[in-house]
């Protein structure tokens, strides 16, 4: 159960990260469209789990590995954007959000 503070910080990080992937850290996405679907923050506010949706799906692993390699630079950029609103910038853990793939698979199965 997330507290109100965790939800607020998660929404703030999600908004800032979405804008960052569109403008500032575009080179890490290797020309793919990267969307931040949800951010979950641990109760101690030390770790933010960032779920990413990557399009096109055929380059998903390559783009995801590149983003994970540059996590410290992305965290630094996030700190420059949200540093006035957060005392400590949480460590970032990235995960692939495959809910869209799951929905497409269900839709495909129902249409057969």
What are the E-state strand segments in 1-112? 33-41, 47-55, 91-96
Q: Are 37 and 52 in contact (CB under 8 A)?
A: yes
Q: How high does pLDDT run on average in the chain?
A: 90
| Predicted structure pTM score | 0.86
What confidence tens digit (pLDDT) does each residue in 73-111 have? Answer: 999 999 999 888 888 999 999 999 887 777 778 888 888
Band (2; pLDDT cuts 50, 70, 90): confident
Domain boundaries, the chain: 4-111
Query: For the domain 4-111, what is the CATH superfamily, name and number?
Result: K homology (KH) domain (3.30.300.20)
pLDDT recorded at residue 8: 94
pLDDT recorded at residue 46: 94
């Amino acid at each position: 159960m997330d507290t109100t503070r965790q939800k607020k910080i998660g929404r703030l990080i999600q908004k800032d990260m979405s804008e960052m992937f569109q403008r500032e850290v575009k080179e890490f996405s290797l020309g793919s469209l990267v969307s931040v679907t949800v951010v979950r923050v641990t109760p101690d506010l030390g770790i933010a789990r960032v779920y990413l949706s990557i399009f096109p799906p055929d380059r998903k692993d390559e783009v995801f590995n590149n983003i994970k390699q540059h996590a410290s630079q992305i965290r630094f950029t996030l700190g420059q954007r949200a540093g006035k609103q957060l005392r400590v910038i949480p460590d970032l853990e990235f995960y692939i959000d495959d809910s869209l793939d799951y929905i497409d698979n269900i839709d495909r199965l129902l249409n057969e």
